[in-house]
C-alpha cells in the first residue's frame, strides 16, 4: 500500500498529498485499503473494539428503542444503519425490535450502508441473509426515507485534513515521500472550505494541530437530505468543541490502531491499521440545526441509555449463580452504564426532522 501511495503522490503532484487523500487511500483503496481487505477488524481477533462487538445488550436495547420511537411518531418501520461493520449490531437490533413488536418487525425494511465488501459478506452471514436487510455500498444508493437513520462509530472513520500551527500561523499538513518513507510536510492552506471553517471556529490559542473533517460534514449533510421525515441517531467517540479543544488534545486526535495497540505514527503501515479521530460533534449538531433539524438529545451514552429505559431491562432473579444467563445479562447492562465503562467515551446525538 505504501508503494501505491508513493507512486500516486509522485504521479499526481510530485510532492504533497493532503491528509484526507492519504487516509482515503489507506482505509478505502479498492484492493489494499484497510476496510476493503479480507481480514477481521472489529473485536478480539481484529484491531479495535466497538460497543456492539463487546455486548449484544447494546444493540438489542437500541432495537427496542428504535421500534418504540418509530411507533410513537407514527413512522413506517424503516431504519437505516450507516457503516454497519460486520453486522453484529444489525443482528442484535433485529432481535430487540422483534421482542418489542414482532408484527411491526415483520414489516421492517432495514437498509445498511456499508462500503466494505468484506463487511457486506459478514453482514449476510451474521444475520442469516435476512430478507428485511438491504445492503447498499454507498449513501448515494439510499432512497429518500421516512424513518430513522442511525450509526455507531461511522463518522469517526471519515478521512480528515490536518492543519498545524507554525510561527503562529495555520498551515496545511500533508504527506511527502522521501525515498521509501512517507513523512509529514506543510504548505499554505489552499482549500477555501478549510479557510472558511477556520474563520467560524473559535480555536483557543494553545491548539497546535487540528483535524478538519470536511468529508464528515458533507456526509452528515447528505444523510439529512436522505431523510424526508424522521430521526437521526448518531453515536460516536466524540465530544463538543469545548471539550475537544483541550490542552490534552492540543496536538490533535488523529491516530491509528493495529492489534489493539495505538501506533506511534499513522504513516508507517497504511492499509494495515485503522485510522480514526475524535468526532467534534458541534459540527454535526450545527449542520443539523442549519438544515432544520431539532435536537432531541445531546450527551453521554450512559445517560441516553438510562433515559431510554435500559434499567428496566435488568432481569430480577433470585439465583446466586454469577454465570447464569440472567446474571450475565444484568452484568452487561451495568457495564454499559456504570462509571469507567465504554459508554464514558461515547456521545449520542438525536435529532428529528419534519416530525409533526
Ligand atoms: C469503525 S467501523 C464501525 C462498525 C460498526 N458500526 C460497529 O459499531 O461495530 C466503521 C464502518 O463504516 C464503514 N464505512 C466507513 N465509511 C463509509 C462510507 N463512506 N460509506 C459506507 N460505509 C462506510 C466501514 O467500512 C466500517 O465497516
Q: What is the pLDDT of residues 91-108, one digit of tens each?
A: 999 999 999 999 999 999
At 96 the pLDDT is: 97
| Cα separation, 33 vs 39, whole angstroms | 11
Asked if pLDDT for residue 129 goes beyond 90, the answer is no
Asked if pLDDT for residue 213 goes beyond 90, the answer is yes
Supply the DSSP symbol for 206: T
Which grid coordinates are listed for 321? 449463580
> Does residue 92 line the site of ligand 1, with CB under 6 A?
no
> Does residue 83 line the site of ligand 1, with CB under 6 A?
yes
291 three-class SS: coil
C-alpha count within 13 angstroms, C-beta hemisphere, residue 141: 11
Q: What is the pLDDT of residues 17-31, one digit of tens each?
A: 999 999 999 999 999
Mean pLDDT of the chain: 93
**How far, in whole angstroms, is CA 350 from its chain's centroid?**
14
Asked if pLDDT for residue 160 goes beyond 70, the answer is yes
Q: What is the DSSP string of 139-182?
A: GGGPPPEEEEEEEES-GGGS--EEEEEETTEEEEEEEEEETTEE
User: Residue 150: beta bridge partners?
Assistant: 81, 233
Which grid coordinates are listed for 317? 432473579
Q: What is the pLDDT of residues 289-340, one digit of tens each?
A: 999 999 999 999 999 999 999 988 887 766 677 777 878 888 888 888 886 6
**Residue of 154, 156, 160, 346 to test ligand 1 pocket, by largest number of atoms within 8 Å of CB:** 154
Domain boundaries, the chain: 36-158+214-259+277-353
**How far, in whole angstroms, is CA 260 from its chain's centroid?**
18
Q: What is the pTM of this model?
A: 0.94
Is 36-158+214-259+277-353 in CATH node 3.30.1280.10?
A: no
| Cα separation, 290 vs 302, whole angstroms | 27
**How far, in whole angstroms, is CA 62 from its chain's centroid?**
16
> Does residue 89 line the site of ligand 1, with CB under 6 A?
yes
Amino acid at each position: 500500500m505504501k508503494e501505491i501511495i508513493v507512486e500516486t503522490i509522485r504521479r499526481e503532484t510530485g510532492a504533497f498529498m493532503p491528509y484526507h487523500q492519504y487516509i482515503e487511500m489507506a482505509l478505502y483503496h479498492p484492493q489494499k485499503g484497510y476496510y476493503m481487505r479480507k481480514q477481521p477488524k472489529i473485536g478480539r481477533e481484529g484491531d479495535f473494539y466497538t460497543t456492539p462487538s463487546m455486548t449484544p445488550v447494546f444493540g438489542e436495547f437500541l432495537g427496542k428503542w428504535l421500534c418504540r420511537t418509530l411507533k410513537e411518531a407514527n413512522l413506517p418501520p424503516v431504519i437505516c444503519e450507516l457503516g454497519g461493520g460486520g453486522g453484529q449490531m444489525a443482528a442484535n437490533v433485529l432481535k430487540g425490535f422483534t421482542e418489542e413488536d414482532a408484527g411491526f418487525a415483520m414489516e421492517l425494511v432495514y437498509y445498511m450502508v456499508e462500503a466494505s465488501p468484506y463487511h457486506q459478506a459478514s453482514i449476510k452471514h451474521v444475520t442469516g441473509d435476512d430478507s428485511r436487510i438491504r445492503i447498499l455500498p454507498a449513501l448515494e444508493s439510499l432512497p429518500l426515507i421516512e424513518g430513522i437513520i442511525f450509526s455507531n462509530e461511522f463518522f469517526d472513520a471519515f478521512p480528515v485534513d490536518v492543519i498545524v500551527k507554525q510561527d503562529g500561523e495555520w498551515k496545511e499538513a500533508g504527506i511527502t515521500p522521501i525515498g521509501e518513507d512517507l513523512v509529514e510536510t506543510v504548505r499554505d492552506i489552499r482549500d477555501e472550505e478549510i479557510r472558511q471553517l477556520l474563520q467560524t471556529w473559535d480555536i483557543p490559542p494553545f491548539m497546535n494541530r487540528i483535524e478538519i473533517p470536511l468529508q464528515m460534514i458533507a456526509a452528515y449533510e447528505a444523510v439529512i437530505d436522505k431523510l424526508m421525515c424522521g430521526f437521526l441517531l448518531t453515536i460516536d467517540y466524540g465530544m463538543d468543541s469545548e471539550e475537544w479543544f483541550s490542552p490534552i488534545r492540543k496536538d490533535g486526535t488523529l491516530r491509528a490502531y493495529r492489534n489493539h495497540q495505538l501506533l506511534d505514527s499513522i504513516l508507517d503501515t497504511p492499509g494495515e491499521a485503522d485510522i480514526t479521530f475524535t468526532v467534534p460533534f458541534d459540527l454535526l449538531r450545527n449542520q443539523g440545526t442549519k438544515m432544520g433539524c431539532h435536537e432531541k438529545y445531546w450527551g453521554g451514552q450512559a445517560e441516553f441509555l438510562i433515559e431510554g429505559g435500559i434499567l428496566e431491562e435488568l432481569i430480577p432473579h433470585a439465583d446466586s449463580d454469577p454465570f447464569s444467563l440472567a446474571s450475565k445479562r444484568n452484568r452487561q447492562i451495568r457495564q454499559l452504564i456504570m462509571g469507567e465503562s465504554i459508554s464514558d467515551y461515547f456521545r449520542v446525538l438525536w435529532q428529528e426532522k419534519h416530525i409533526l
